[in-house]
């Protein structure tokens, strides 16, 4: 078995980047490794899809594993 992350993202929105990452230590800020390929992509509707990504290490290969999704936007919105 593997740790998995599931998140939703907009379809065909290149202004937002989603980077699923995994690590064995929360104390090492440079220990996060980006996942390379989604395990599954399921279309929700015309705007959104559900993405599942699997960790590269199987459960038991490390004492602990953690996952996150880094989200970065390529646009700027002024404050109201």
Domain boundaries, the chain: 2-73
Q: Which contiguous run of DSSP H or E holds residue 53?
A: strand 48-58
Amino acid 21: pLDDT: 97
Amino acid 38: pLDDT: 85
- Assign domain 2-73 to its CATH architecture: Sandwich (2.60)
Amino acid 64: pLDDT: 93
Residue 53 has pLDDT above 80, yes or no: yes
Say how far apart CA 60 and CA 45 lie, in whole Å.
36
Residue 80 has pLDDT above 80, yes or no: no
pLDDT digits (tens, 9 = 90+) for 13-46: 989 999 999 999 999 999 999 998 888 999 999 9
Minimal CA–CA distance to 2: which of 77, 50, 74, 56?
A: 56
Q: Which two three-digit tokens encode residue 13? A: 């929105």
Beta bridge partners of 72: 17
Amino acid 43: pLDDT: 97
């Amino acid at each position: 078995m593997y740790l998995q992350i599931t998140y939703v993202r907009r379809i065909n929105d290149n202004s937002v980047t989603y980077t699923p990452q995994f690590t064995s230590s929360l104390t090492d800020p440079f220990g996060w490794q980006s996942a390379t390929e989604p395990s599954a992509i399921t279309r929700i509707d015309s705007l959104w899809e559900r993405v599942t990504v699997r960790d590269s290490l199987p459960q038991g290969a490390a004492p602990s594993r953690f996952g996150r999704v880094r989200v970065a936007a390529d646009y700027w919105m002024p404050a109201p």
